[in-house]
Amino acid sequence: MAKESYAGKINRKLNKKLRVVEVAAGREPADLVLRNATYVNVYCNELSHGDIAVANGLIAGMGEEYHGKEEVDAGGKLVLPGFVDAHIHLESSLVSPTEFAKAVLPHGTTTVITDPHEITNVMGTDGIEYILQATEGLPVDVRVMLPSCVPATPLDESGASLDYRAIDSFYDHGRVSGLAEMMNFVGVVAGDQQVIEKIVAAQAHHKKIDGHAPDLGGNALNAYIAAGVYSDHECSNVRDALNKLERGQYIMIREGTAARNLDALLPLLTPQYYTYCMFCTDDKHPNDLLNLGHIDYIVKKAIKAGVDPIIAVKCASHHAARYFLLNNRGAIAPGFLADFVVIDNFDDFNILEVYKKGRRMFDGETLADIKPPEIEPYLVKHAHETFHVARLTAEDFAETRARGVLGMVPGEIVTTDAGYATEIDVANDVLKIAVIERHKNTHHIGIGYIKGYGLKSGAVATSISHDSHNIIVVGTNEADIAAAANRVVELNGGIVVWDGGEAKGELQLEIAGIMSEEPLTVVNDKLEAAKEAAFALGVSRGVDPFMTLSFMALPVIPTLRLTTRGVFDVANQKYV
């Protein structure tokens, strides 16, 4: 297909705009009219009434004199702007972007801002390109923030190491909105030149820079914000949030799967503070998407906690759109995208219909057909060939010298320093844990011990291992540890519960070792079955067998972590 000329593009857009003007003025019938609508007016902070006319996917106007080719009576219902997730890693859903869109559209989400940090740590810049192509044209608008920390820390062995030059060309893509969470706040505050370069480059392209700096305060916080970091989603208490908000940062109130901060930050959702707040999920796992919802869950929970419904709706839509300069969404107003969520009332908050650019995508029961975008074959091939690991044996995990013990904390992903161990002691819940480099066949294997996991037999392995996504495995003996890890490699990625010479539960994650090609419901069923298999082998019920394990290799969370180089003391920044 011949590339459209600039003049041709302008002429096409002109014709579309002229029709919107004709409909807005009442001279032509609209494509769709929502009659008798009661809608949230984000500008007046009130409920407004009238017909909503749609043309060419845009809101042409609101009033009483519109007629359309299709007319829908919205009387007795409430119409809200489509919801926006201000920060998410699509990979955390464990499914393809198409399956993710199918999951969140019925919950009213029409735009998400994603950080493809996970897949980029595996595939390098091909990971960014994969996500851009896999989200092209989906009925959920996917905006991309470029990963700022690949690898997450110098201690990680990931599939790539990206400086600002590696990602700079992506800023020219129409759906790239900025630089994703700057996790290396230590580097920013210290004035690390390579870290600051990434911020300066994003600013040179007039893009946003998101933050990630839990509990940072004082002059260190001043330095972080002065460098150009505009937001934070890591606030777990009001004190931390207000420290940042009073210095000009926008606060993304997170309520996801791994971290739930809404209850603690409810005091922000008041007239004094809410203007600079928005909602995000960060990570949202299959079970939560299916059983709780997405941004709608946060809105409902906030309203039930006593938050003004209009404040909750604005934080779920308008504020994120404004922050990311998405100037044609997040409101019901002339010229905005016709992205609507129709609910029954604020108390019950049942979603009755969802419209995307004026097209009804969900009617309360049925979701419109969503076809996956085409992805270039070389990207598909790369995504399915990300494991470069020689076959492992029990001897690879044999270790007699003392190693640090990661003490698990029930319900948390932090650990304690539980001393040292020289061997597995199942009776006292001391298990062997290993992290296996899987990107470049280095045969680097970090070995340590873990206490509090509860496994009594066999081994559990996963290729979801934040943030470099090497293979992490915990087991009661070296033979099962090797077998579980080998099975993950055979699957080209996944989660494996192994015992008695066979997999007792498994979930294949063949896309970069972190996402499945199967439907969300199938992925959830297999994931839950694998969890039950892990519990049956003794894993403590208070532990998520896989999610908790996946964070044990991230060397930015205290106290002890395990990398491919061994047990690392985060507080003292040294290997033990």
Equal fold, 1-76+332-363 vs 81-275+284-311: no
**45 C-beta neighbours (distance < 10 Å), count:** 12
Tens-digit pLDDT profile for residues 369-425: 999 999 999 999 999 999 999 999 999 999 888 999 999 988 788 899 999 999 999
Torsion of CA 502, 506, 512, 514, to 10 degrees: -140
Query: Average pLDDT of 71-94?
Result: 97
CATH code of the domain made up of 81-275+284-311: 3.20.20.140
Tens-digit pLDDT profile for residues 132-153: 999 999 999 999 999 999 998 8
3-state secondary structure of 371: coil
Question: What whole-number distance in Å separates Cα of residue 309 and Cα of residue 312?
Answer: 5
- The tokens describing 300, both together, are 């409902």
Instruction: Locate the domains of the chain by residue range.
Output: 1-76+332-363, 81-275+284-311, 385-575
The reported pTM is 0.95
Q: What is the pLDDT of residue 228?
A: 97
Is 572 in contact with 566 (CB distance < 8 Å)? no
- The tokens describing 571, both together, are 């507080």
Beta strands in 357-488 (DSSP E): 359-362, 403-408, 415-421, 430-436, 445-451, 459-462, 471-475
Q: CATH fold of 1-76+332-363, please?
A: Urease, subunit C; domain 1 (2.30.40)
Query: Average pLDDT of 81-93?
Result: 97
Tens-digit pLDDT profile for residues 300-353: 999 999 999 999 999 999 999 999 999 999 999 999 999 999 999 999 999 999
pLDDT at 568 over 60: yes
In 3D, which of 190, 189, 193 has the Cα closest to residue 211? 189
Q: What is the pLDDT of residue 411?
A: 78
Q: What is the pLDDT of residue 261?
A: 95
Query: Average pLDDT of 514-538?
Result: 98
What proportion of the chain, given as a percentage, has pLDDT over 70?
Answer: 100
> 158: which DSSP letter?
-
- The tokens describing 307, both together, are 């938050």
What proportion of the chain, given as a percentage, has pLDDT over 90?
Answer: 91
pLDDT at 502 over 60: yes
Q: What is the pLDDT of residue 64?
A: 84
pLDDT at 556 over 90: no
H helix runs in 169-282, sequence order: 185-190, 193-204, 218-226, 238-245, 262-265
In 3D, which of 62, 27, 66 has the Cα closest to residue 42? 62
pLDDT at 1 over 70: no
pLDDT at 366 over 90: yes
pLDDT at 156 over 90: no
Tens-digit pLDDT profile for residues 243-265: 999 999 999 999 998 889 999 99
Q: What is the pLDDT of residue 400?
A: 82
In 3D, which of 80, 76, 60, 79 has the Cα closest to residue 68? 60
Tens-digit pLDDT profile for residues 428-446: 999 999 999 999 999 999 9
Tens-digit pLDDT profile for residues 452-463: 999 999 999 999
Tens-digit pLDDT profile for residues 449-496: 999 999 999 999 999 999 999 999 999 999 999 999 999 999 999 999
